[in-house]
Amino acid sequence: MSTVQRIKEIKARRAQIKAALTRFTNFISDVMNVENIVEIKTRLGKIELFFNEFDTLQSELEFIDETELVTSTRND
């Protein structure tokens, strides 16, 4: 697999993870009440997995493509 193709794949997966994180943030904003604590805890477990994968993908991108260091989305 070429480096360019791998970068495209990583960026696509990273975008999927960012979308999942956005959905989670919106969910939390909408349902902040005691009745949803169990669902929030379940989703939090998924978010932790997404964050770890996102961080791994971002690190790989930065290693492959130094311009990603400048345009890093770690802080978005």
Report the pLDDT averaged over residues 37-43: 79
What is the per-residue pLDDT across 14-23, written as a single tens digit (0 to 9) for each? 999 999 989 8
**Nearest C-alpha neighbor of 17 from the set 57, 67, 72:** 57
Residue 55 has pLDDT above 70, yes or no: yes
Exposed e or buried b per residue across 19-56, where buried means at least 16 C-beta atoms within 10 angstroms of its C-beta = ebbeebeeeeeeeeeeeeeeeeeebeeebeebeeebee
Whole-prediction pTM: 0.54
- Give the model's pLDDT for residue 30: 76
What is the per-residue pLDDT across 56-68, written as a single tens digit (0 to 9) for each? 998 888 888 877 6
Report the pLDDT averaged over residues 5-27: 91
